Amino acid sequence: MRWKEEKRKVNDLLNQFLLYLVMEKNYSPHTLRAYQNDIKEFLAFLKDLGKEEFSRREIRLFLQKKGQHCKKSTIGRKISALRSYYRFLISRLDGRENPFEAIQSPKKEKKIPFWLTEEEIVRLLEAPDIDTPLGLRDRAILETLYGCGLRASEVVGLDIKDVDICSQKLMVRGKGRKERVVPFASETAYWIEKYLEVRPESGSRALFLNNRKDRLTTRSIQRIIQKHAQKAGISSHVTPHTLRHSYATHLLHRGMGLREVQELLGHASIGATQIYTHVGGEELKKAYLEFHPRSKGEVEKTPNE
């Protein structure tokens, strides 16, 4: 069955859909922008084809075109965005078929996340110049990213009121605006306190401020990390998520349970956390030497040996 867009309603319906995602689904601004762009791309694609109708054929042509330069995860998101959008339209217009329901998302590539060793983490954390206010801010940001395993957007979203130094806990608003409480160690508490001593007076509620005394952006967090990673002589590929990966990996290597790590990271399902159960070469060797009976000479010899 074919679908025909009602042109006069497109913009209104798209805005209604985005409002629905905010009010009903609690989607983050980042996801909203991505979904909006995905939908507009598809509508522009149909316009270029000179079509007011589309079926699975046009969908596949669109995905083939995007697949030439997009990752599988990005293609999957586009399918999800468009499937949700047309499902929303159907619920408000009529009961016609949604062609996107028959389109399967590509299987995600399972990549072992890039993470830093504990020694590299120390070098990175010690890179900022703590004799300056900006250096203290950067040190506090790095300590918060690694000490709490937060996403860049979560660090950016922190307000001063979200930090409880006495109980060493953060109130974090994660994906879907879901709140969770994350503990932090005394080292993290120390550097947040040191930063607060030099934090500029501002009308902003944000914990971390830029030079204009406004809330930092996720792009700013990325630049801060790259700057200090370069200074520390660490890979230029270090991102905020690298510190999150390192946080989870180090906790698991030291014996924390998968469920506990899931809660700390704010993952909705344990499947998202299992990617961190990779084990490095040295850790694998250590585990082997600890548990295999032959590594300790515990295997008894038979009389014939």
3-state secondary structure of 209: strand
Q: Is the pLDDT of residue 51 over 80?
A: no
Sketch out the chain's domains with CATH numbers: 3-102 (1.10.150.130), 118-287 (1.10.443.10)
3-state secondary structure of 183: strand
Two tokens, residue 227: 């700057």
Query: Given pLDDT bands bounded at 50, 70 and 90, which one contains residue 1?
Result: very low
| DSSP category for residue 245 | H
Backbone angles phi, psi at 107, to 5 degrees: -65, 135
Classify burial at 94, counting beta carbons within 10 Å of its beta carbon; exposed 0-12, middle 13-18, buried 19 or more. exposed
| Whole-number Cα distances in Å, 18 to 38, 46, 96 | 12, 21, 21
Q: Which residues are designated catalytic?
A: 151, 175, 241, 244, 267, 276
Mean pLDDT for the chain overall: 83
So what's the pLDDT on residue 282?
56
Question: Of 179, 141, 27, which is closest to residue 170 (Cα–Cα)?
Answer: 179
Decide: pTM greater than 0.75. Answer: no
So what's the pLDDT on residue 157?
93
| Whole-number Cα distances in Å, 266 to 103, 142, 173, 281 | 29, 19, 9, 28
Cβ partners under 8 Å of residue 94, min gap 6: none
Instruction: Report pLDDT digits (tens) over 103-129.
Output: 888 776 666 668 899 999 999 999 999
- CA angle, 158 then 228 then 250, to 5°: 70
Two tokens, residue 268: 């909705």
Which is more confident, 284 or 244?
A: 244
As a whole number of angstroms, the distance between CA 26 and CA 44 comes to: 27
Handedness of CA 53, 55, 60, 63 (dihedral sign): positive
What is 137-181 written as a DSSP string? Answer: HHHHHHHHHHHHT--HHHHHT-BGGGEETTTTEEEEE-GGG-EEE
Stretch among 25-29, 80-84, 177-181, 282-286 having the lowest mean pLDDT: 282-286
- Answer whether 31's CB lies under 8 Å from 25's CB: no
In the block, residue with structure tokens 């990549």 = 111
Q: 180 has which bridge partners?
A: 172
Q: Is the pLDDT of residue 2 over 50?
A: no
> b vs e for 11-39, b when ≥16 Cβ sit within 10 Å of the residue's Cβ?
eebbeebbebbeeeeebbeebbebbbebb
As a whole number of angstroms, the distance between CA 235 and CA 129 comes to: 20
